[in-house]
Structure 1
Amino acid sequence: MNILPLQVNGLSKRYAANTVLAGVDLTLAAGEVLCILGPNGAGKTTLISIILGLLKADSGEVRLFGQLQAGISRSNALRQKLGVMMQIGSLSANLTVFEQCDLFSSYYANGYSAAELVALAGLEQHSKQRFGRLSGGQKQRLLFALALAAKPQLVFLDEPTLGMDVAARRSLWQQIRQLKQQGVAVVLTTHYLEEAEQLADRILVLDQGVIVAGGSPAELKALTQYKVISCHSVLDNAALLALPGVQQLNRDNNHIILHSCQPEQTVKALLLADESLHQLEVLPVALEQAFLQLTQASQTTEEQAA
Structure 2
Amino acid sequence: MLTDSPALLVDGLRKRYGDRDVVSGLSLRAARGELTAVLGPNGAGKTTTIECCEGLRRPDGGRVEVLGLDRTRPENAAELRHRVGVMLQEGGLPMAPHAGAVLRHVASLHDRPEAAGPLLERLGLTTVARTRVRHLSGGQRQRLALACAIVGEPELVFLDEPTAGLDPQARLAVWDLVRELRAAGTSMVLTTHLMSEVEELADHVVVVDRGASVAAGRPAELRGAPHVRIAPPPGTSAATLAADLAAALAQHAGLDTCAEAGGVVVRGTRMDAAVLAVVARALADTGHGAAEVALTRPTLEDAFLSLTGRELRADAA
Q: TM-score, normalised by structure 2?
A: 0.79
Pair 1:295-2:308 in alignment: yes
Root-mean-square deviation (Å): 3.1
- Matched with 1:152 is 154
1:50 Cα offset (Å): 0.9
Taking the TM superposition and a 5 Å limit, the aligned residue runs for 1:113-262 are 113-222=115-224, 227=227, 229=229, 237-238=234-235, 243-244=241-242, 245=258, 247=260, 260-262=264-266
CA 1:275–1:163 in 2, change beyond 3 Å: closer, same or farther?
A: same
**Which secondary structure does the structure 1 equivalent of 2:309 belong to?**
helix
Aligned residue pairs total 284
Taking the TM superposition and a 5 Å limit, the aligned residue runs for 1:84-99 are 84-99=86-101
How far apart, CA to CA, are the structure 1 residues paired with 2:228 and 2:164? 30
Identical residues among aligned pairs (%): 36
CA 1:185–1:260 in 2, change beyond 3 Å: closer, same or farther?
A: farther
1:239 Cα offset (Å): 5.2
- Matched with 1:48 is 50
CA 1:174–1:139 in 2, change beyond 3 Å: closer, same or farther?
A: same
**Which secondary structure does the structure 2 equivalent of 1:113 belong to?**
helix
- Matched with 1:255 is none
1:39 Cα offset (Å): 0.7
1:271 Cα offset (Å): 4.8
CA 1:298–1:3 in 2, change beyond 3 Å: closer, same or farther?
A: farther
How far apart, CA to CA, are the structure 1 residues paired with 2:279 and 2:135? 56
- Matched with 1:256 is none
Q: Which amino acid aligns with 2:265?
A: C
Q: Which amino acid aligns with 1:38?
A: G
How far apart, CA to CA, are the structure 1 residues paired with 2:42 and 2:134? 28
CA contact (8 A) 1:12 1:24 kept: yes
- Structure 1 stretches lacking a partner, 5+ long: 250-258, 300-306
CA 1:18–1:32 in 2, change beyond 3 Å: closer, same or farther?
A: same
Deviations 1:201-234 (A, max 9, x none): 11111000111111111111118xx84649xx9x
- Matched with 2:272 is none
**Which secondary structure does the structure 2 equivalent of 1:103 belong to?**
helix
CA 1:275–1:61 in 2, change beyond 3 Å: closer, same or farther?
A: closer
1:133 Cα offset (Å): 2.1
Of the structure 1 ranges 90-99 and 43-52, higher mean CA displacement relative to structure 2 is found in 90-99
Deviations 1:270-302 (A, max 9, x none): 454576999x75132111111101112999xxx
CA 1:210–1:277 in 2, change beyond 3 Å: closer, same or farther?
A: closer
**Which secondary structure does the structure 2 equivalent of 1:74 belong to?**
helix
CA 1:111–1:243 in 2, change beyond 3 Å: closer, same or farther?
A: farther
**Which secondary structure does the structure 2 equivalent of 1:9 belong to?**
strand
How far apart, CA to CA, are the structure 2 residues paired with 1:136 and 1:53? 25
Deviations 1:46-70 (A, max 9, x none): 1011111221211111112211122
Q: Which amino acid aligns with 1:218?
A: A
Q: TM-score, normalised by structure 1?
A: 0.81
- Structure 2 stretches lacking a partner, 5+ long: 243-257, 268-274, 313-317
The partner residue of 1:286 within 249, 274, 299 is 299
